[in-house]
């Protein structure tokens, strides 16, 4: 018995967007929210103040330009050019690629490589999220692991170039680029002096400004054991971002085992530490995205310590026995609503 998640993705994403819309309902808006499929997911932008066709067009064009630079799934992107030149020569990249590379290397350093933007060969090997997903052989995994190592990614900010030292190395910004994209949307909102908006890039949520009635935004934490669209609880946040990494997002099943898309750079298999999701609340979405994947890969002790080292960041960890742990700073703003789950200290 074998199943893959990608065919269902758009449906789940719609459900997710709708679930969020329900929580955020009751806010008057100047123009309806818009949803487009970009950066590999459904992106829903809800400008609740000064929304205009021009603003929406600018935002989605910005998202498309980030996809054009950083997609690992398309030929001709800057990321593709860097990968093709691995072991050959540095490649000039734009400001977006450079900014994400700098951040990604920072998180690789902070996690001692548990988060690694050079995880590409392993991502390609497993192909999770595509119909070709399969369990690779031990030899294939060993070969891919040899090509992974963020220290062999040369980031030359002055020259504006990226260089992968070994042939066969591959960058993959799947764990961080959606967060960067959400922050890029927030920059447009600031420049246009839009007062309040909700940016939902496939579950990577950023709430901008204050709600009209002054109350905090209420954002659902996705239920990692169920279908997309249901949530285990609500977080109340103001001018923050909430990002979740989980086993439910992209996976396939073979012989009764689930293989999900957050990969261990130590053994080459999906991270197996009992966690089913990690949700991060932070000031910047790029940090929240990098942290959600990092904390998932590191597990509770090291993950919590990492999150607490980033100012303004908090985390909610969920395990497969349906226990939930949260960092102290988020506890008062997080309300569990699904009674199958239980908060422990
Ligand atoms: P996260 O936990 O944030 O990230 C998990 C992803 O990070 C994995 O899917 C893998 O790509 C990578 N990763 C795995 N292990 C590690 C690790 N140890 N360290 C660092 N990174 C790791 N999907 C499509 O199906 N088609 C597309 O055309 C497509 N285009 C995209 C274009 C862009 C610019 C981006 C950012 C994403 C795109 N995606 C596309 C989605 C992408 O492939 C990932 O599935 C998605 O970004 C995962 O995000 P997440 O928040 O669910 O998980
Ligand atoms: Mg992430």
What is the residue-averaged pLDDT of the chain? Answer: 91
Q: Which CATH number fits domain 76-164: 1.10.645.10, 1.10.3980.10, 1.10.3720.10, 3.40.50.620?
A: 1.10.3980.10
Q: What is the pLDDT of residue 16?
A: 44
Over residues 98-146, the pLDDT tens digits come to 999 999 999 999 999 999 999 999 999 999 988 899 999 999 999 999 9
Residue to probe by mutation, ligand 1, list 133, 174, 298, most atoms within 8 Å of CB: 174
3-state secondary structure 252-274: EEECCEEEECCECCCCCCECCCC
What's the pLDDT at 228? 59
In angstroms, how far is CA 227 from the centroid of its own chain? 18
Beta bridge partner(s), residue 246? 277
Instruction: Locate the ligand 1 atom nearest the alpha carbon of residue 246 and give its number.
Output: 2
Mean pLDDT of 319-334: 96
What tokens appear for 269 in the block? 């298999």
* Ranges in the chain annotated CATH 1.10.3980.10: 76-164
Instruction: Give the number of the atom of ligand 1 that is nearest the alpha carbon of residue 117.
Output: 20
Output the pLDDT for position 5.
42
Q: What is the pLDDT of residue 8?
A: 33
CA distance 172 to 119: 6
Whether pLDDT at 10 is above 70: no
Q: Please determine, for residue 21, whether its predicted confidence score (pLDDT) is greater than 60.
A: no
Q: What is the mean pLDDT of residues 245-255?
A: 88
The percentage of residues in the chain with a pLDDT greater than 90, rounded to a whole number, is 82
Domain with CATH 3.10.520.10 in the chain: 2-66+176-343
Closest ligand 1 atom, residue 264 Cα: 18
Cα three-residue angle 49-52-56, rounded to 5 degrees: 100
Q: Note the Cα 44 to chain centre separation in Å.
A: 15
Name the DSSP class of 152.
G
Ligand nearest to the CA of residue 117, numbered in listed order: 1
At residue 30, the pLDDT reads 63
Identify the band that residue 170 occupies on the pLDDT scale cut at 50, 70 and 90.
very high
Q: How high is the pLDDT of residue 25?
A: 44
Q: Compute the distance from residue 115 Cα to the ligand 2 centre, in Å.
A: 9
CA separation for the pair 79, 74 (Å, rounded): 9
> Which of these CATH numbers, 3.40.30.10, 3.10.520.10, 3.40.309.10, 3.30.559.30, describes 2-66+176-343?
3.10.520.10
pLDDT recorded at residue 230: 87
Q: 174 CA to middle of ligand 1, Å?
A: 3
Ligand nearest to the CA of 119: 1
User: Which of 222, 221, 206, 216 is CA-nearest to residue 237?
Assistant: 216
- Choosing from 175, 177, 205, 291 the residue with most ligand 1 atoms within 8 A of its CB, the one to mutate for a pocket test is 175
Output the CA 175–ligand 1 centroid distance in Å: 5
Please tell me the distance between residue 58's alpha carbon and the centre of ligand 2 in angstroms. Answer: 25
CA of 50 to the centre of ligand 2 (A): 30
Q: Which helix (H) or strand (E) holds 319?
A: strand 314-319
């Amino acid at each position: 018995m074998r199943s893959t998640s990608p065919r269902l993705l758009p449906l789940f994403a719609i459900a997710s967007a709708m679930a969020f819309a329900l929580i955020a309902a009751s806010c008057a808006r100047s123009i309806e929210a818009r949803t487009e499929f970009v950066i590999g997911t459904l992106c829903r932008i809800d400008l609740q103040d000064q929304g205009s066709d021009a603003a929406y067009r600018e935002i989605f064009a910005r998202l498309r330009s980030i996809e054009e630079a950083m997609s690992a799934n398309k030929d001709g992107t800057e990321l593709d050019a860097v990968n093709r030149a691995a072991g050959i020569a540095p490649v000039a990249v734009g400001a977006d690629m450079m900014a994400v590379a700098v951040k990604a290397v920072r998180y690789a350093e902070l996690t001692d490589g548990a988060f690694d933007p050079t995880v590409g060969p392993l991502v390609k090997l497993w192909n999770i999220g595509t119909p070709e997903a399969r369990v690779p052989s031990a030899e294939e995994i060993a070969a891919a692991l040899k090509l992974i190592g963020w220290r062999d990614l040369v980031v030359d900010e002055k020259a504006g170039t990226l260089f992968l030292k070994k042939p066969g190395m591959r960058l993959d910004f799947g764990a961080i680029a959606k967060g960067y994209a959400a922050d890029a949307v927030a920059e447009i909102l600031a420049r246009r002096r839009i007062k309040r908006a909700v940016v939902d890039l496939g579950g990577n949520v950023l709430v901008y400004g204050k709600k009209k009635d002054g109350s905090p935004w209420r954002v659902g934490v996705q239920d990692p054991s169920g279908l997309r669209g249901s949530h285990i609880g609500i977080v109340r946040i103001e001018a923050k971002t909430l990002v979740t990494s989980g086993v439910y997002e992209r996976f396939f099943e073979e012989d009764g085992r689930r293989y999900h898309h957050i990969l261990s750079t130590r053994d080459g298999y999906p991270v197996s530490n009992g966690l089913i999701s990690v949700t991060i609340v932070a000031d910047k979405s790029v940090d929240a995205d990098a942290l959600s994947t990092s904390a998932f890969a590191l597990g509770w002790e090291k993950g919590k310590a990492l999150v607490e080292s980033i100012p303004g960041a908090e985390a909610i960890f969920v395990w497969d026995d349906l226990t939930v742990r949260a960092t102290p700073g988020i506890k008062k703003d997080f309300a569990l609503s699904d009674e199958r789950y239980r908060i422990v200290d």
